[in-house]
A = this chain, B = another copy of it.
Amino acid sequence: MIKDKFADAIAPVGHTDDDDVGAINEILGFHIRLAHGACLRHFTETFTDLDLTQKQVSVLWLVDDHPGIAQTDLAQRLRMDRATTMAIINRLQAKHFLRRDRSPKDGRKQALFLEPDGIEMLARAKQAIGEHEAWVKSRFSDKEVRQLIELLSRIHE
């Protein structure tokens, strides 16, 4: 019944209006992190029913786009280390969303493939991503979206 999250009204401590000193608000990285937080929060809400995280959806999506992809390749594309990738793959496998096949070409590698459950879940996830994206993009014109993607890409590429 109690809406905990951010319902808390703030009791302003002093006088400051967030735009005084060598303000934290001038730090680009600060805004990137806040925007990410807002984004991730809305994503999580949107995916409450599907019980999937952003990382998990990304993995399903990439495995679908690249059947037989290896864990290392996945990790590289999503900028994760191998241990973290393992944890995510394990969770998805436990839910029967994907399977590991030993790669015939390279015995060290595990080729990843979506299971039927995973294919269905991905379809639903893409639907939900549509909503989520609409929420994000509602703030921008098409031109601004392209601009934003271009600028952000310079950071992570």
Listed in ascending order, the chain A residues whose CB lies under 8 Å from chain B are 4-6, 8, 10-14, 16, 20-24, 26-41, 43, 54, 58, 61-62, 65-70, 72-73, 75-79, 81-82, 106, 109, 111, 126, 129, 132-133, 136-137, 139-140, 144-145, 147-149, 151-156
Contact = CB atoms under 8 A, between A and B. Distances in A.
A76 to B, nearest CB: 5
A101 to B, nearest CB: 12
A72 B11 contact: yes
Contacts of A33: 36, 39-40, 54
A156 B37 contact: yes
22 contacts: A5-B81, A6-B76, A6-B81, A8-B72, A13-B67, A14-B66, A22-B126, A27-B129, A29-B39, A29-B43, A29-B129, A33-B36, A33-B54, A34-B78, A34-B156, A35-B152, A35-B155, A35-B156, A136-B155, A139-B154, A140-B151, A144-B151
A63 to B, nearest CB: 10
A155 B43 CA distance: 13
Nearest to A72: B8
Residue with the greatest number of chain B CB neighbours at <10 A, chosen from A29, A126, A132: A29
B8 A75 contact: yes
A80 B12 CA distance: 17
